[in-house]
Chain A
């Protein structure tokens, strides 16, 4: 099945820097979700987006549901060491959930 195109694949940043990652698809989705996965653990939901154009924040995280419904981005402001992990986007449509391949974030103190 079709997966989402998530970029970048990995990022190495300095503590305090802002981070941006995005997810695109050739198909329309009704819901966009962003998850974070720590090593050896399951993904944990960060933000859920339900409407085109919606901009939602969760602390230092901000995510947007693209106006075309084919993309979404996640921003992390003022990164800290505990932001390290893999971030996955997911799009949902008609009982079908698709995941991106993940963005691996490394934060250097």
Chain B
């Protein structure tokens, strides 16, 4: 059982609002990831981090930003939400090393009206 938590699970907000999606893991993993996934579709990597103060953009361009001030915490922020940001956001973490099994949180389903 993976110990990675995302909050909120569901969020409905109006256009232009600033939001932060929280992700925390208690496994001491150095690597953390954010994926964007439309319902029933493939996962697209939008951000990743290999450790504290390290953040990189993923394959899919995103207007969101991330920070990694603590090992266990990897929040994602949207400064001004738009309807095009409506999606499911999944956070994952993995150990450093060759195995690199990614463990996922339950996701945040975001709806921007």
Which residues of A are at the interface with B, using a C-beta cutoff of 8 A? 1, 3, 30-31, 33, 35, 40-45, 48, 50, 86, 88, 90, 92, 95, 97, 99-102, 104
Which residues of B are at the interface with A, using a C-beta cutoff of 8 A? 2, 6, 40-43, 45, 59, 90, 92, 98-107, 109
Check A45–B59 contact: CB distance below 8 A. Answer: no
Check B90–A102 contact: CB distance below 8 A. Answer: no
Given contacts A31-B100, A90-B102, A101-B42, 19 further A-B contacts (CB under 8 A): A33-B102, A35-B104, A40-B107, A40-B109, A41-B107, A42-B6, A42-B105, A42-B106, A43-B43, A43-B90, A43-B104, A45-B103, A48-B101, A92-B100, A99-B42, A100-B42, A101-B41, A102-B41, A104-B40
Kindly provide the distance from the CB of B36 to the nearest chain A CB, expressed in whole angstroms: 12
Q: Which secondary structure dominates where chain B touches chain A?
A: loop
Kindly provide the distance from the CB of B91 to the nearest chain A CB, expressed in whole angstroms: 8
Check A33–B42 contact: CB distance below 8 A. Answer: no
Contact flag A97-B107 (CB < 8 Å), given A42-B90, A104-B40: no
Cβ-closest chain A residue relative to B35: A99
Check B109–A50 contact: CB distance below 8 A. Answer: no
Residues in A whose Cβ lies below 8 Å from that of B109: 40
CA distance A99 to B102 in the complex (A): 11
CA distance A76 to B49 in the complex (A): 34
CA distance A7 to B43 in the complex (A): 16
Cβ-closest chain A residue relative to B103: A45
Kindly provide the distance from the CB of B19 to the nearest chain A CB, expressed in whole angstroms: 19
